[in-house]
Structure 1
Amino acid sequence: MTTESKRALVVRGGWEGHEPVVITDLFVPFLRDNGYEVETSDTLSVYEDAARLAATDLVVQCWTMGEITKEQCEGLVGAVRAGTGFAGWHGGIVDAFRGDVDYTLLTGGQFLMHPSGFSDHAVTLAADRAAHPVIAGLSDFRVHTEKYWMATDGDIDVLATTEFAPDEHRTHAVTMPAVWTRTVRAGRVFVSTIGHKPDDFDVPEVRTLTERGLLWASR
């Protein structure tokens, strides 16, 4: 008796500054090693293919900015609600399709801004979620990359945060969600705001939590 492979669809495109092909290719071997048949798409029209999405266990999206049509968004949201997993990182998932409310309600957050350039900063894991399979056994870590200021939904499960110190815009520190999961009816969504550049994933904790997030989100 053979076990049927799972199916992953990698949707990549949009702004080239986030290197969507290079970075998603970092995770294709991992998915294949974990039993997935992996397809890629460089067009959002794939979200209009209901049968294809229904047969897909995990959609990995890296598509920064751009526009999504009503039909495409409805197709993606409908598939996730029915059980297809949805996962991604950085601008490829939370700086996509700005202003589309239905898409933002799917991801649970929208990028608003980041301080100029890269910065060394800490990523703090949520102590009360230490047993969550995405971060279990990991410790707080540091990265040198962009730090995202987010607008987030109240209905997300925050697994890690970053800190914004007081500055000319605010007199107090602000703790910002950086990694989270959520459920959307039968589907699961994983979001990490870390991943502007390929070497962000050279940080072992970043690579591990991203890989685990993909598996967690999958049907």
Structure 2
Amino acid sequence: MFAGNMHKAQLYSSANALQTRDAAAALSLYRDAMSWPDECDVLDVGCGSGDVTSQLLLPALKSYSSLTGVDVSQQMVKYAMSKYQQPNVTFRYLDIVAPDFRPRDLFPRGFHKVFSFYCLHWISDQKLAFSNLSELLLPGGELLVVFLASAPLFTIYERLAKDSTWSRYMKDVSKFVSPYQHVANPEDELKSHLLDSGLQVKDCKCILQHFSYPSAVALKSNYIIQ
């Protein structure tokens, strides 16, 4: 259904203002509260086109020895690799909830910091996702994630999926709706997943945000296939 546009890396790169804004806000709020050893191995899950990883996350790191961006889209990874070539920054393909994914087999060193911006709401198996993220962290490591609990656009997707005109094109609509869309208290459910994965929760909050797209074209580029 909608996956095609999200995998058009160049188009996505020009239409990710919402993701950039909220990632910047989270880094501004939490960076100074995190511990920063002299050399940090850092992972960015759901790096997309690499813009947030290279232009926002990298400059915000107080220290790092390596920064790895991973994404489930091969096209996004190839785009990021071609656009951003910086010392000790790499991009690679990864499906964080693939059945055969063994976190420490792929990354035996683990990571001091794991970040994820606007990615995890696309994953239905939240328990597995956080279990794998937890396993990637070194003792004393820290995880910072930002994603959508719910959004009006998800409601539109669901309504279109029930419409006789569009339903045949939207049989996979559940893949594009946050698993927290209809959860009364998403904070409690998220905390449960975090604790079950062995993580200690320092802060977990659901914040109401508004974002105005400058045009219908910008909205379409960010979410909907042509």
**Common fold: TM-score over 0.5:** no
Normalised TM-score (structure 2)? 0.35
- Larger helix fraction of residues: 2
- Larger strand fraction of residues: 1
Which has the higher Rg, Structure 1 or Structure 2? 2
